[in-house]
A and B are shown apart, each in its own frame.
Chain A
Amino acid sequence: MGTLVVENVVAGYGSGPNILKGLSLTVESGKAYCIIGPNGAGKSTLIKVIAGLLKPREGKIFFKGEDITPLRADQVLQRGLCYVPSDRSLFPDMTVKENLRMGGFVMRDTRKVDERIDELFAQFPILKEKSSQMAKTLSGGQQQLAAIARAMVLKPEMIMLDEPSLGLSPKVVQQIFGTITTLRDQGLTILLVEQNARKGLQIADMGVVLDLGTNSFEAPACDVLNDPRIQELYLGKRHQAVAAEECK
């Protein structure tokens, strides 16, 4: 029994077509999952459905055994399941500290939120340095860090990251993935959606390939990295040797 179970979820936007077409997925506690797949496969949609931001048309989602399908987004957060959107979604005209405070919005105890922010400042010194700057003045990498820290305010058991490398330089991507690895090593369950499939799979335990709204392939990240079909489709042939080498 996984910590997060997605069962036959069908979902789409407004009156539009189904994006997810009967998707099932089981995420086990303490592991890092990387979801890859072409544009339009439903990667971001899946995360929004799990986060409670989009109601599925069919199917159910369980977190730690509880049916969270009918819950609102704030209730899902309170269960310990947080989400970092691909556009970072910071509040541009609030300071870094105010952004982190908003991360603790569903906690009513503001003193606890401030304590938690201090812990996070210790973990991410750069954010402490910038704490009174407006979020819009941060660099892309710093914004991504702030978004991750904002999700961590609630001390979640599981965190979902949508394309954390989007629009960042390779060096910064390296740092962000370092941070994600640290979170994984701290025992957090991670669900990562990544266009940069090779990088994502390298830090993941499991790889999940989405195609046309269904779960078409699920295997240990290493096997996904080394699967010739996946390499051809998503990783590019030239990465073949490298991928095999970097895999433990």
Chain B
Amino acid sequence: MIQVIQILILGIALGGVYALMSSGMTLIFGVMRIVNLAHSAFIVLAAYLAFFVFKTFNIDPIVSMAFTMPVMFLVGVIYYRLLFASRADNPRFADITVLVTFATALVIEGILAFIFTGIYRSTTPTYAKTSINFGPFFIPQSQLYALIISIVLIVGLWMFMRYTRIGNAIRATMQNRNAAQVVGVNVTWISTLSFGIGLAMAGAAGSLLSFVFTFYPAKHIAWIGMIMCLVVLGGMGSLVGALVSSFLLATAAAYVNFYFGAAWSPITFYLSLFLILLFRPQGLFGKKVEG
């Protein structure tokens, strides 16, 4: 029984980071219908940024969020403006985004491999090596910090979307792009901003997972599959959905990992993807996509 609860604790701890990783992707899809296959590559890029400032200036990876988030925000704004803004009205926009973002992911991977080589990296702040014990249970300190910060960021994003004028404009654009234009929302501006916010979340995720996981330039391939599963399971575009599915699947994967072995745990994600597509294709919290 102790073991069962311990696995639950570890699953939940990972779920927070997963949720942060998928939140940006679901936001970007929701507002712009961009299937951002480069999302995990941007996360890896941010992880390397955190790694770089940790190695060079000895800046703590949590503190480095103050650097990775704005940098990735800017990257997102420029990236969207350069490659997507002028194509938003193209009837094949979604197809275009899949190809363009996949190409982007490969380019990022190549550049990172060139600069940092393919060696496994991670940042090693002191809290990355210790665990907090309570009774018979433990939680790695790094995962606890990552969990708390992830939740704070996601709740912050959710409140921003709910209670601010700009956040309402983002939600309005997600629900009905035409209507948003009709009431005077500059949807190009909102899209640019949302892409920036989405990548800022990727930036935060990069900083946090730099001390939770090890990473290498091609790691994004493994992560994008997982993130896609989380986003589709939650309902593409739904922030709450991404959060719930992250905790569900992270926990499920932790149990599979324990009882069947690590090799089987990715199956958890893909199996759930098949099941959700069979029985509820719009996802747990998704809206049926119009048109």
Q: Are B182 and A73 in contact (CB under 8 A)?
A: yes
Of the candidates B165, B176, B181, which one forms a contact with A91 in the assembled complex, judged by CB atoms under 8 Å apart? Answer: B176
A77 and B184 within 8 A (CB): yes
Tell me, rounded to whole Å, the shortest Cβ–Cβ distance linking B240 to chain A: 12
Interface flags, B136-177, vs A, CB<8A=1, else 0: 000000000000000000000000000001001101100110
Residues of A within 8 A of B178 (CB): 85, 87, 89
Check: A122 CB closer than 8 A to any chain B CB.
no
Q: Would you call B131 an interface residue if the criterion is a C-beta within 8 Å of the partner chain's C-beta atoms? A: no
What is the size category of the interface that chain B forms with chain A?
Answer: 10 to 19
B residues in contact with A89, CB < 8 Å: 176, 178-179, 182
Interface pair B183/A94, CB less than 8 Å apart: no
Choose one: A14, A78, A85, A91; the contact of B172 (CB below 8 Å): A91
Does A141 make an interface contact (CB < 8 A)? no
Write the chain B residue with the least CB distance to A108: B165
In this complex, the member of A72, A78, A84, A110 whose beta carbon has the largest number of chain B beta carbons within 10 angstroms is A72
Determine whether B287 belongs to the interface, using a CB cutoff of 8 Å to chain A: yes
Looking at the complex, which one of A14, A72, A102, A108 makes contact with B183 (CB distance below 8 Å)?
Answer: A102
Q: In terms of DSSP, what is the predominant structure of the interface of chain B?
A: helix
User: Quick one: CB contact mask for B206-240 with A, threshold 8 Å, 1 for yes?
Assistant: 00000000000000000000000000000000000
How many residue pairs link A and B with beta carbons under 8 A? The number is 63
CB distance from B87 to the nearest CB of A (A): 11
Partner of B165, one of A53, A77, A93, A105: A105
Residues of chain B contacted by A103 (CB below 8 angstroms): 183
Whether the Cβ atoms of A106 and B176 lie closer than 8 Å is no
Contacts of A74 in B (CB 8 A): 184-186
CB of A51 within 8 A of CB of B182, answer yes
Q: Contacts A14-B89, A105-B165, A110-B165 known; A91 to B171 CB distance under 8 Å?
A: yes
A73 x B181 contact (CB < 8 A): yes
Min CB–CB distance A169 → chain B (angstroms): 23
Chain B residues near A91 (CB-CB < 8 A): 171-172, 175-176, 179-180
Residues in A neighbouring B169, C-beta threshold 8 A: 102, 105
B: residues with CB less than 8 A from A are: 89, 165, 168-169, 171-172, 175-176, 178-186, 287
| Additional A-B contact list (5), CB under 8 Å, known A74-B185, A78-B184, A93-B175 | A53-B182, A91-B179, A92-B287, A94-B172, A105-B184
A-B contact pairs, 26 of them (CB 8 A): A14-B89, A51-B182, A73-B182, A73-B184, A74-B184, A74-B185, A74-B186, A77-B183, A77-B184, A84-B182, A87-B178, A89-B179, A90-B176, A90-B179, A91-B175, A92-B175, A92-B287, A93-B175, A98-B168, A103-B183, A105-B165, A105-B168, A105-B183, A105-B184, A106-B183, A108-B165
